Structure 1
Amino acid sequence: MTQQYHRWYSPNLNMDLEMLVFGDRGYPVILFPTTKGRYYQNLDFGLIESARWFVEQGLVKIYCSDTIDALSWYDEGIHPADRARNYTWYDKMLLDELVPWAMHETGVGKVAMAGCSFGGYHAANFAFKHPEKVAHLFTMSGAFDIKRFTGDFYNDDIFYNNPVDFLPGSNQQELWQMNIILGTSEHDICKDANIRLSDILNEKHIDHWLDIRPYASHDWPIWREMFPHYLSTIK
């Protein structure tokens, strides 16, 4: 399984970002880390190893980039407006820099978005905001409502980065064409969040799979089972 390290300057964020890329061809998969995790977290915790067969067969090429959790939603030292604004710049980085990069390298016109825990938020937020860029969404124990980070403050940047708020009113036709899997488990602390998001999708008659696994909890072992299963649905 080939592995490449990249470091680049992001003009949208005015800072350097780091990334690991696994594979040399295949469908582009943007895979986010969990809360405040670094670009190498999914490698260290075995999620990449769980997808080894798909990478080595040239079916997928996986992009693991840094997030800016510590500078956005999790930065309690700045005002919620600044947290939301910083995340809006991160979303623009994905849209203008990382996603076009992955599309260009693979020659594919759309990407897959994936992530575990808070990485599931990153994946879902981008996919639902920019469905014209995303054909597959795989979340594993995702959390999708960021208002818990912003208290009583609310503005457009929060609204448009909060899937449970903006998704009900979105009518972008590509949403109905996306392959959406919401993975959770019986003892997952984010199970209710996934049921809530599934209810929103059902109300809009958007086809998806709410995958509730028995017995498992909010942890890496079940995510390592889910991820290769979900990759197998990419056509």
Structure 2
Amino acid sequence: MIENYVQWYAPSLNRQIDMLVYGDRGYPLILFPTSMGKYYESKDQGLIDAIAWFIDNGLVKVYCPDSVDAWSWYNKQIAPVERAYNHTRYNAMLYEELLPRIRQETSYERIAVAGCSFGGYHAANFAFRYPAAVSYLFSLSGVFDIRFRMDGYYDDNVFYNNPVDFVPNNNDPALWEMGIILGTGEYDICLQDNENFSRILSAKHIQHWLDIRPQARHDWPLWKVQLPHYLSLM
């Protein structure tokens, strides 16, 4: 499997960003790590091996950027206003720096996004903020309400990074063109989050698949089965 390590200085964040890229052609997929996960987490946990067939056959090119969760949502050493602002800067890096790079390298205008657990939040938040840039969203055991990281604080940066808040009033036509899968498990700690968000999408008549796997829990064995299945549906 082709693997390339990439590092660049991100002006949006004023810091270095690390990323692993798998494959040399195919539909571009940004794959986000779990809570405070590193860019190599999907490789170490076997998720890249689980989708290796799609990479080796040139069907997808996978971008695994670092997260800044420990600097944003999960940083209890700074005020909530700074946590939300730092994530807004991460969004800027993704949209203004990484997305143009992907478009240049692959010639695709729209991309797919995916992630497990808190990575599912990142994927969903990016997809619903920039629906014209995203064709497919695969959220695996994701969360869609960020307020549990805010200690009661709320501002515009929280609102516009909180899908349960901003999606109901978002009427971008691209939302109805996106392939959306909310994957979860029967015993998943995020099952209720996914059921609630599915109701929000249904109320807007946005087609999606709420995939609840029987007897499955919030863990890598579930995600290593789900993600290759979802890629096969693209």
User: TM-score category by the smaller chain?
Assistant: over 0.9
The residue number in structure 2 matching 1:61 is: 61
Deviation for aligned residue 1:62: 0.2
- Supply the distance in 1 between the matched residues of 2:131 and 2:144 (Cα, whole angstroms): 16
- % of aligned pairs identical? 56
**SS at 1:183's partner residue?**
strand
The residue number in structure 2 matching 1:42 is: 42
Cα deviation 1:14-67 (Å, max 9, x = unaligned): 000000000000000000000011000000000000101100110000000101
Q: Give the gaps of 5 or more residues in structure 2.
A: none
- Supply the distance in 2 between the matched residues of 1:98 and 1:124 (Cα, whole angstroms): 17
- Supply the distance in 1 between the matched residues of 2:196 and 2:113 (Cα, whole angstroms): 20
Indicate whether 1:15 and 2:30 are aligned.
Answer: no
**SS at 1:199's partner residue?**
helix
- Supply the distance in 2 between the matched residues of 1:199 and 1:100 (Cα, whole angstroms): 33
The residue number in structure 1 matching 2:167 is: 167
- Supply the distance in 2 between the matched residues of 1:49 and 1:197 (Cα, whole angstroms): 30
Cα deviation 1:201-227 (Å, max 9, x = unaligned): 000000000000000100000100001
**SS at 1:138's partner residue?**
strand
The residue number in structure 1 matching 2:187 is: 187
The residue number in structure 2 matching 1:91 is: 91
The residue number in structure 2 matching 1:101 is: 101
Q: Give the gaps of 5 or more residues in structure 1.
A: none
Superposed counterparts of 1:1-235, under 5 Å: 1-234=1-234
- Supply the distance in 1 between the matched residues of 2:147 and 2:82 (Cα, whole angstroms): 14
Deviation for aligned residue 1:151: 2.0
Cα deviation 1:103-139 (Å, max 9, x = unaligned): 2111111010100000000000000000010000001
**SS at 2:233's partner residue?**
coil
- Supply the distance in 1 between the matched residues of 2:215 and 2:192 (Cα, whole angstroms): 15
Deviation for aligned residue 1:102: 1.2
Q: Which runs of 4+ in 1 moved over 2 A?
A: none
- Supply the distance in 2 between the matched residues of 1:205 and 1:150 (Cα, whole angstroms): 30
Cα deviation 1:119-171 (Å, max 9, x = unaligned): 00000000000001000000100011110111221100000000000000000
Report the TM-score when normalising by structure 2: 0.99
User: What residue identity is the alignment partner of 1:107?
Assistant: S
User: How many residues matched?
Assistant: 234
**SS at 1:112's partner residue?**
strand
- Supply the distance in 1 between the matched residues of 2:166 and 2:151 (Cα, whole angstroms): 18
- Supply the distance in 2 between the matched residues of 1:129 and 1:230 (Cα, whole angstroms): 22
User: What residue identity is the alignment partner of 2:142?
Assistant: G
Deviation for aligned residue 1:199: 0.4
Report the TM-score when normalising by structure 1: 0.99
User: What residue identity is the alignment partner of 2:176?
Assistant: W
- Supply the distance in 2 between the matched residues of 1:159 and 1:107 (Cα, whole angstroms): 32
- Supply the distance in 2 between the matched residues of 1:211 and 1:175 (Cα, whole angstroms): 19
- Supply the distance in 1 between the matched residues of 2:101 and 2:177 (Cα, whole angstroms): 23
**SS at 2:186's partner residue?**
strand
Deviation for aligned residue 1:101: 1.0
User: What residue identity is the alignment partner of 1:174?
Assistant: A
- Supply the distance in 1 between the matched residues of 2:56 and 2:9 (Cα, whole angstroms): 29
